[in-house]
Amino acid sequence: MTLLPDSLPSLRETVETHGLMAKKALGQNFLLDRNITDKIIRLSLEKQNKKDFTGEYVFEVGPGPGGLTRAVLNANPQKLTVVEMDERCIEIMNELKSFAGEKLEIINGDALKINFAEQDIPPRNIVSNLPYNISVPLLTGWLKQIESFSSLTLMFQKEVADRICAPINCKDYGRISVLAQLQCSIERLFDLNPNCFVPAPKIWSTVLLFRPLHAGINNTELNKIEKITALAFGQRRKMIRQSLKSLPGIKEKLEQLQIPETYRAEQLTPKQYFELAKLL
């Protein structure tokens, strides 16, 4: 296994050397504790019954000073591709590349414009401390291609993670809960105190592990689920007979599925939203 040398400067030294003050506009909060970045990778691999990433491709969005990057490289991926917009962080990635060689590919660009499912060959994994300002759009895009990935190990604001994992009949349950839970088994690995980050955000963070359920949901059905959930949760205080009234034949379809038309959006399970989409 190829390991990075112990002689690498610490993450704090790296940040100081490059004058790397986090930029709010890029949603940056840096994780500089190597024990935590190592823990993220260790727990993710353990939950997947893997020793390392040997023979697998890994992608990371927003590597920043490279804490998670180092942890992934030490887990011996076939290749790690990092996507970063901040030129200062690109310099740090180039320094890491001098040790990691061809195992590390660097893309200076916008992750929202990159189709990770077309990069390299399976098995593919995504590991990221996501920029908070684009975490949900990124996740939504990956969920639409979830069959292309073995796992997603992602850090979110805790309140976003709570929404993703929320059960029915609670205020956090919403569109992203339905989309994620329909297509993935989701495990909460651990929560992180704001003081773990530089600068410290005002909120806690959570690391989630997503693994595809191979539910066989095609893009047409996913688009319909998105439309239905947008209508239902857009007027979540209304009964679905009212919020979904613009859908053709909705009353008959609800009756066919034995879903009471007096239900509100948070009372339908992800599977019921899927069944409804299939009838439209």
Q: Which pLDDT score, from 0 to 100, does residue 23 have? A: 58
Ramachandran bin of 46, using left for φ above 0, alpha for ψ from -120 to 50, beta for the remaining angles: alpha
Instruction: Copy the structure tokens of residue 104.
Output: 């590390």
- Look at residue 215 and tell me whether its pLDDT is greater than 70: yes
Q: Which pLDDT score, from 0 to 100, does residue 24 have? A: 56
Over the stretch 242-279, which tens digit does the pLDDT of each residue have?
999 999 999 999 999 999 999 999 999 999 999 999 99
CATH 3.40.50.720 fits 11-212, yes or no: no
In angstroms, the CA 238 to CA 225 distance is 18
Residue 56's pLDDT band (cuts 50, 70, 90): very high
Distance from the Cα of residue 196 to its chain's centroid = 20
Enumerate the domain spans of the chain: 11-212, 219-279
CATH node for 219-279: 1.10.8.100
